[in-house]
């Protein structure tokens, strides 16, 4: 019997095409985290499926995963973060011909991305709607801070921007208690989309991995953007 658990939550993730594994096991847990316009669903399994496929029905907004050789071993409720509204409306679990069919139904038309992780074994599914959002607030009369959310085919992108008014004086100084850029960005990418003398603002100036910046090439209006992940 098909069983649906309806709730409001969100999903993000990546899943590949059918991948063979030596041995399958049980679905041991389902976790959902919700964010605005997105839902991430994590399927915990004792072993990866021997094979799996996916299909999306645009008319019903339902993503179906068929996990070969996997059984439903859930013994507790689905863990979910319901503090924010996502796009996931319901989850259905049903055994079909020796496989476990997992149906993820969204409350609107969504894009989806799936991937697998090991140690422990799990399948991660991201559901996300197509949207772009930017919120801006004034730090002071000459500096504004913006937060940008956007979606691309690979998933959700978050960026942050600090803009300095063109008429404001700019002082470059060393602060002893400050952090080097390299210690802040970790393994991610930071770029300065600044006006460059004789260049285009549309082509951001890259910051070296050690945080070194060629100050002579940057004018007094720019944007610092940090993309933590996709």
The pLDDT tens digits of the residues spanning 170-215 come to 555 566 666 555 555 444 444 444 444 454 444 444 444 454 544 4
Percent of the chain with pLDDT over 70: 50
139, 142, 55: which is closest to 104 by C-alpha?
A: 55
> Is 60 exceeded by the pLDDT of residue 160?
yes
Round to the nearest angstrom and report the end-to-end CA distance of the chain: 37
Quote the tokens at residue 136.
């801006």
Q: How far apart are CA 122 and CA 223, in angstroms?
A: 38
Domain boundaries of the chain, sorted by first residue: 3-128, 132-227
Phi-psi domain of 193 (left: phi exceeds 0; alpha: psi -120 through 50; beta: other): beta
Q: How far apart are CA 147 and CA 55, in angstroms?
A: 33
Neighbours of 228 (CB within 10 A): 12
Q: pLDDT tens digit string along 7-63?
A: 333 333 333 334 444 456 899 999 998 887 788 999 999 999 988 899 999 999 999
> Is 80 exceeded by the pLDDT of residue 135?
no
| Residue 73, phi then psi, degrees to nearest 5 | -110, 20
State the architecture of 3-128 in CATH terms. Answer: Sandwich (2.60)
Q: How far apart are CA 36 and CA 139, in angstroms?
A: 24
* pTM exceeds 0.85 for this model: no
């Amino acid at each position: 019997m098909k069983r649906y658990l309806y709730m409001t939550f969100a999903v993000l993730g990546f899943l590949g095409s059918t991948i063979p594994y030596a041995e399958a096991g049980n679905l041991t847990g389902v976790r959902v985290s919700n964010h605005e316009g997105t839902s991430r669903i994590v399927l915990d399994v004792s072993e990866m499926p021997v094979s799996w496929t996916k299909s999306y029905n645009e008319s019903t907004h339902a993503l179906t995963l068929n996990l070969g050789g996997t059984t439903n071993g859930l013994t507790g409720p689905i863990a979910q973060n319901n503090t924010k509204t996502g796009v996931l409306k319901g989850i259905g679990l049903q055994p079909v011909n020796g496989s476990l069919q997992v149906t993820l139904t969204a409350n609107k038309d969504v894009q989806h991305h799936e991937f697998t992780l090991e140690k422990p074994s799990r399948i991660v599914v991201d559901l996300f709607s197509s949207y772009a959002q930017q919120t801006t607030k004034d730090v002071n009369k000459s500096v504004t801070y913006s937060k940008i959310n956007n979606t691309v085919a690979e998933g959700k992108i978050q960026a942050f921007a600090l803009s300095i008014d063109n008429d404001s004086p700019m002082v470059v100084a060393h602060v002893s208690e400050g952090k080097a850029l390299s210690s802040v960005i970790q393994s991610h990418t930071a770029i300065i989309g600044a006006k460059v003398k004789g260049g285009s603002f549309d082509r951001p100036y890259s910051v070296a991995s050690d945080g070194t910046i060629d100050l002579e090439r940057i004018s007094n209006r720019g944007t610092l953007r940090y993309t933590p992940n996709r």
